[in-house]
């Protein structure tokens, strides 16, 4: 079917055990990462879940690309005109090393985005004030 990859919505839910506890080495995520059938497939995680687990910069595994929610949030604030955020804007635009470097991961681990399927369109995001 020529599928290049898969994005997992609220992927951090797959890092939890049966009782909801956060697993250090979640078997489902490692099974996906180490699958021979998926070895040439892009794996993209929305690295948070609805229960508050936020794993951007620390999502389990090495092949996963992570939606960088911190990038999304600071760019939206920048475009809105918020003051005092230039350092963080620069950090995010330059690859968010503060999130990925301590895990020995490269900036390509993060996927920068501003809007997606479950929010405003890009036009609405920047034109809607009230």
Is 110 within 8 Å of 96 (Cβ atoms)?
yes
Task: Round the average pLDDT of the chain to a whole number and report it.
Answer: 92
- Is 4 an annotated catalytic residue? no
How many CB atoms lie under 10 A from the CB of residue 57?
20
- Is 82 an annotated catalytic residue? no
130 has a pLDDT exceeding 70: no
- Tens-digit pLDDT profile for residues 112-129: 999 988 888 888 887 876
Beta-bridge partner residues of 22 = 16
- C-alpha 55/C-alpha 37 separation (Å) is 26
The pLDDT assigned to 120 comes to 83
The domain spans of the chain are 1-67, 70-130
Q: Which percentage of the chain shows pLDDT scores above 70?
A: 98
- Tens-digit pLDDT profile for residues 10-49: 999 999 999 999 999 999 999 999 999 999 999 999 999 9
- From 9, 73, 98, 124, the catalytic residue: 9
- From 33, 36, 46, 104, the catalytic residue: 46
Tokens of 104: 């020995």
């Amino acid at each position: 079917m020529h599928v290049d990859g898969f994005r997992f919505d609220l992927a951090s839910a797959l890092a939890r055990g049966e009782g909801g506890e956060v697993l250090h080495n979640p078997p489902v995520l490692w099974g996906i990462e180490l699958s021979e059938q998926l070895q040439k497939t892009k794996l993209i995680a929305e690295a948070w879940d609805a229960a508050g687990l936020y794993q951007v910069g620390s999502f389990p595994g090495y092949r996963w690309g992570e939606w960088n929610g911190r990038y999304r949030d600071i760019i939206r604030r920048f475009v809105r005109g918020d003051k005092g955020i230039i350092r963080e804007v620069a950090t995010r635009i330059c690859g968010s090393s503060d999130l990925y470097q301590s895990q020995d991961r490269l900036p390509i681990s993060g996927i920068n985005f501003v809007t997606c399927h479950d929010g405003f369109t890009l036009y609405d995001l920047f034109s809607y004030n009230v």
